[in-house]
Structure 1
């Protein structure tokens, strides 16, 4: 395939001027030096799109990759939209265990702050359900989660939530995308973290928000006596993601024994024990089911990296020697029956 080398070089050089993180810019610099036009074409033939599911892509240098520049570009578009539609807008930001999630969360926070938007930033990993709650509890205009959900480890992403705690829907998503696509590198406003914090534009999410979330979640139990100090034994895997602390905390609060798969307990954006961190995928739940057989667990639970997707396996016999992974429809049926 013939490539327009001049056009690709111009796009690459423009990106290099705008990208502040060396880890991404060095990839592009190396390929320019080597004349790797096929790879450069893949990095620059388009830009990552923003939609209802936010922005998601392979981590790396280029406009068709997930990197610091693209996060800042989209955040400037979001900032423009928030300042256009809201008075004194505010945003809360969370991130999961994926590679560079904490960096991207901080970059987004500083662009928002540079645009005069108040930002609450979680100081550590928090899953999507807790971010959704925080948006409503803190009454912010919007929320951001840095995550690529259950995609492979080479991906990361950027999800936007509206004031109702749900992901942005029309017309907000279209308007944000339109403004983000129009942003040029020189349009992106900047502010140092020290300045943002000293001006009170960037603050940590108060600890009381987590406490309120746990309290609200426990209040949601329709028949708490069914689970309080229950003899049920749970084997759980967070699949190296952000669900470990909240899931263990809530199960412990109601007195349910929770055994976590040790090899998958620690956050790790490389997801070294699974080909795909999707708890609905049999391969991802193999270690949890093996542990369940050993522990004779009554149920197996698994969450994806941002803990908004749940996998469940149940024993097929009284001896608990075999387990079956439930489908999404089966889980929904059980939830409706409980409610």
Structure 2
């Protein structure tokens, strides 16, 4: 099967000369198989993969086919949906603009209006633009925080949120209906513009978006008066965040120093191993400038500016990087307590987080008298829950977060938003500094003393190709078929299998129950006293991830406990 595909891409004149030359240069039979044994998987995160020729790689032909599937679904809804159009944004990665333009011209070929940003923009602004322009859908070309060899294609629907599984399956069915690759052609750009099917977007969307972001500030006057007292260093990590993050902070009253070596977009990301603010080394340059500037906080955004990392200066002058769980917990605490103090916290306020995010937030939010909702891993599920509450009129969304550095407030974006998070974190840091004489680290310590100390960690195994996918399946099967009663000496209270949608409490009183969340290949072990261990193969990357959230009343014991838990888990899944 893959040999036929290989020969087709090697010889058919539909593929450009560069693509055919790349295919002809392949010598390793295993690489040929990996590139052609399957189509690059289209899931709820859209597409994401290594750039290159082949059906299992990111290239213009895969982009064309995916966009044709989306166009088919939109066209089935009639002329009104086609006229509402699709908004397209892109980040600083290799071929991002080329892919975005190609998608726009495939839509135009199908008579669907395409709004294309003239320059790179953050993913959350794409989400906003879909809602603001009342568009039918959105596309963003990005591989988020992946290595430079990757790019991706994410699809959004009319609510501004990433497509959920059922919508992804509808698009996938239409993609699969196109068995031939060589019958999908873009409309020439000149024709698309003349027909009004290709429209440029620019600063008018920036203004509308930033106006909404600024309205989220709880103490705008404090920032105008005292903002320059908060010394901060920012790095966009060569991505799309620089213009809007720096602009909103500056306009609100903060003084921002931007890391000069990482300020400009660069698809090679030359100063970092991965452009991921979760990785400590991405802060190396920010730390250097932070010490020179005597900055209180450092912030970093990933290439498409939907994720935000943060480090805070300690009394010793070093910088402590916070986890996504710590930032999410701090922002949830800030929003709840300060909105209540200002008399603007709704009675039906709701915080939304994912099942991969810390149990500390559940304890804290419920103790503060606010409802908390847990959803599947992936920010699209937070946005989907917000939309559901809005439709049903039950609950008032205040804040959402996931452990992988994603945060959201407000009702005008339906995805994680590092522009919003930058503003809220700076305001929280300034508020506690100026009004209470405390740092965010001291606020976090108070939360720990009240609800227990938690430590987070994650093991991410990259398993490439067909063999890697089979190994991940074996790991999940082992976990499902093995009776586990404890990890690291901590008893397991409940095991939830979201693939089977069944849960069981394994300590007295024992019981079986059904899970209400949608089906997903995830197993979560809830530990007695709080915390969890969770296993989840990624839907968009060749990875399996193991999440650890461990609680102890004694912070000195946390790291040892964590290592014991990790060791037990790794022994269990060893192949």
TM-score normalised by L of structure 2: 0.55
Aligned to 2:115: 120
Q: Report the CA distance between 1:281 and its aligned residue.
A: 1.1
Aligned to 2:439: none
In structure 2, distance between residues paired with 1:15 and 1:169: 32
Contact 2:36/2:56 (8 A) holds in 1? yes
Contact 1:115/1:189 (8 A) holds in 2? no
SS in 1 for 2:165: coil
SS in 2 for 1:250: helix
- Aligned match for 1:228, one of 215, 219, 224: 224
Q: Sort the Cα spacing of 1:18 and 1:297 in 2 relative to 1 into closer, same or farther, 3 A.
A: farther
SS in 1 for 2:25: helix
Contact 2:86/2:112 (8 A) holds in 1? yes
Aligned to 2:477: none
Contact 1:21/1:68 (8 A) holds in 2? no
In structure 2, distance between residues paired with 1:146 and 1:25: 24
TM-score normalised by L of structure 1: 0.93
Aligned to 2:176: 181
Aligned to 1:324: 320
- Note the alpha carbon deviations across 1:79-101, whole angstroms, 9 max, x for none: 00111135333100000000000
Q: Report the CA distance between 1:297 and its aligned residue.
A: 0.7
Q: Report the CA distance between 1:19 and its aligned residue.
A: 5.5
Q: Report the CA distance between 1:269 and its aligned residue.
A: 1.2
Q: Give the structure with higher Rg (CA).
A: 2
Structure 1 vs Structure 2 CA RMSD: 1.6
Q: Pick which of 174-183 and 139-148 moved more.
A: 174-183
Contact 1:60/1:66 (8 A) holds in 2? yes
Q: Sort the Cα spacing of 1:259 and 1:206 in 2 relative to 1 into closer, same or farther, 3 A.
A: closer
In structure 2, distance between residues paired with 1:146 and 1:104: 7
Q: Which has the higher contact order (CA 8 A, sep 6+)?
A: 1
Contact 1:59/1:156 (8 A) holds in 2? yes
- Note the alpha carbon deviations across 1:55-74, whole angstroms, 9 max, x for none: 00000010111001000010
Aligned to 1:251: 249
In structure 2, distance between residues paired with 1:170 and 1:257: 42
Report matched runs for 1:120-159 at 5 Å: 120-159=115-154
2:166 is aligned with 1:166: no
SS in 2 for 1:227: helix
Aligned to 1:242: 240
Q: Report the CA distance between 1:267 and its aligned residue.
A: 0.7
Q: Report the CA distance between 1:187 and its aligned residue.
A: 3.8
2:293 is aligned with 1:299: no
Q: Report the CA distance between 1:205 and its aligned residue.
A: 1.3
Contact 1:96/1:242 (8 A) holds in 2? yes
Q: May I ask how many residue pairs the two structures share in their alignment?
A: 328
SS in 2 for 1:171: helix
- Note the alpha carbon deviations across 1:106-138, whole angstroms, 9 max, x for none: 100000000010000001110111111100111
- Note the alpha carbon deviations across 1:268-313, whole angstroms, 9 max, x for none: 1111111111111101111112211111111111000010000010
2:62 is aligned with 1:64: no
Tell me, which stretches of 5 or more residues in structure 2 are unaligned?
A: 336-575
- Aligned match for 2:43, one of 30, 48, 51: 51
Q: Report the CA distance between 1:21 and its aligned residue.
A: 4.5
SS in 2 for 1:65: coil
- Aligned match for 2:261, one of 250, 260, 263: 263
Q: Sort the Cα spacing of 1:315 and 1:177 in 2 relative to 1 into closer, same or farther, 3 A.
A: same
2:99 is aligned with 1:104: yes
